[in-house]
Amino acid sequence: MIQPGPIQSERVQMLRPGEPRQGRFVLYWMQSAVRSRHNQALDYAISEANRLKVPLLVVFGLTPNYPGANARHYRFLLEGLRDAHAGLKARKLPLLVGLTGKHGPAEAALALAPDAALMVTERAVLRHLREWREWLTAQLEAHHPDLQLAQIESELVVPLEVTSVKQEYAARTIRPRIHRALEKYLVAEEEVEPAHHLTDLPSPDGLKWLDPARLTDPAALIASFGVEGVPAGVEEGGEVAAQAQLRAFLKRLDHYDADRNDPTVDGSSRLSAYLHYGHISALQVALSVQEHGGPGAPAYLEELIVRRELSFNLCWYNPHYDDFQVLPDWAQKTLREHQHDEHEHLYTRAELEAAGTHDPYWNASQRQMMLTGRMHNYMRMYWGKKVLEWTPDPAEAHATLVYLNDKYEQDGRNPNSYAGIGWVFGLHDRPWTRRPVFGTVRYMNAGGLKRKFDIEAYARKWNAADPLAAGTPGAHPRREQAGKR
């Protein structure tokens, strides 16, 4: 077992350079890593607070109009915030939750800036997350020009620029770059306990600060936000449930390579949503899988590190990661050339959303996603390819997949999602045999499903599923499997 070490310098970037100033506390704006342990940004902030001999204050900005979020997403997020609050409290670290407005969660960090010695947050790659950090940086420049703001890579095993300084073409080009760096970065990091504690919490004017007791009732909070009532998914959010899910996955890891492409078998990790919401650390998962070893470990580490970090590379270096322009030139050209080919079936977005197609396998995958907030990865590939086949305009097909994914997937609005949707249209792939509608973009049909697993059983299960089985918006009792702290 590799011994823990300090936060690596390559994980630290200064958005606002300078030296720490006199202040009451170090401020950690928690947003993408909502967990109280195995959190590189939190560990860095604690280390800096100890060095400066001041307490640490953690703040989270809760935005009732988060882009694209509905009740399903808010429930998972709030369960994570509930667990983070409890975990931080056990470490004698206070968490303030501010309800923020049009400038997003960064408003909460800015409100506490006057008393901060320095400010810390996590690195983010998606557009709106970067815009919030840019807004905060500009506000600090204008109003607190002596306040240092550091962002810490807390989502990836290998930091972005260490792997590559440009968009990588495919997994085969990024894989050797990541593997060269793994020995240095696939190591545990030192978890530091705070040496000083803040007892007199600030409550600056200009924002409404949430009573932490309200975090124990996500349903009531969601109702107060007035967001769309998509039913809750099947998994509970938060770091307690995430750790339980990791332990359960390790027990079936030996069969991962054989079972992962069969949606009728519980062979996947089921960790994607926890990674997306920051309820678990990719580095912790990778180290746990590496320590466990066995025949399933290499295949899973390929997915967790190489494939996942390829998607982050895409979203960092390509501003069009969520639209049709993200595709390589050859893919855009061939799809446009075949746009007016005869389509055997055409469906509107509304018909697709209602799972109202002629294809029972496709309908089952759409219903699984709508009811549970997750769809097996192999079915996601088939699901996407059919939307391309059944839509007259490939750009509209891309937009429809983004819409459906972001609305219903528990781990939607994620770099993995956007890279996966792009793959449907030729991203991170190569030209194949020319076909109608697809041109030289890879094609998939139901025959492949029938060869790989019992697709009829899958279709029967989800096409007969009770639409109310997933529960009501925001209602999701804590499961026994999550255990206790």
SS3 track for 256-306: HHHHCCCCCCCCCCCCHHHHHCCCCCHHHHHHHHHHHCCCCHHHHHHHHHH
Q: Comparing C-alpha atoms, which of 51, 9, 61 is closest to residue 26?
A: 51
CB-based contact 76:277 (threshold 8 Å)? yes
- Pairing relationship of beta strands 149-152 and 116-122 according to DSSP bridges: parallel
Fold of 156-191+237-317: 1.25.40
Q: What is the mean pLDDT of the chain?
A: 92
What are the tokens at 199? 């007892």
Q: Tens digit of pLDDT for each residue in 218-257?
A: 888 888 888 877 877 778 999 999 999 999 999 999 999 9
Lowest mean pLDDT among 4-13, 78-87, 106-115, 475-484: 475-484
The domain locations on the chain are 7-154, 156-191+237-317, 319-463
pLDDT at 466: 61
Superfamily of domain 319-463: DNA Cyclobutane Dipyrimidine Photolyase, subunit A, domain 3 (1.10.579.10)
pLDDT tens digits, 304-357? 999 999 999 999 999 999 999 999 999 999 999 999 999 999 999 999 999 999
Q: What is the pTM of this model?
A: 0.94
Q: pLDDT band at residue 91, thresholds of 50, 70 and 90?
A: very high
Q: What is d(CA 129, CA 29) in angstroms, rounded to the nearest whole number? A: 13
Between β-strands 149-152 and 12-16, what pairing exists: parallel, antiparallel or unpaired? antiparallel
For the cut 50, the answer to whether the pLDDT of residue 173 exceeds it is: yes
Q: Which residue has the higher pLDDT, 132 or 220?
A: 132
Q: Is the pLDDT of residue 288 over 80?
A: yes
Task: Give the tens place of pLDDT for each residue, 425-451.
Answer: 999 999 999 999 999 999 999 999 999
Confidence of residue 4 (pLDDT cuts 50, 70, 90): low
Say how far apart CA 2 and CA 5 lie, in whole Å.
9
For the cut 70, the answer to whether the pLDDT of residue 395 exceeds it is yes
Closest CA to 164 of 347, 1, 318: 318
Q: CATH top-level class for 7-154? A: alpha beta
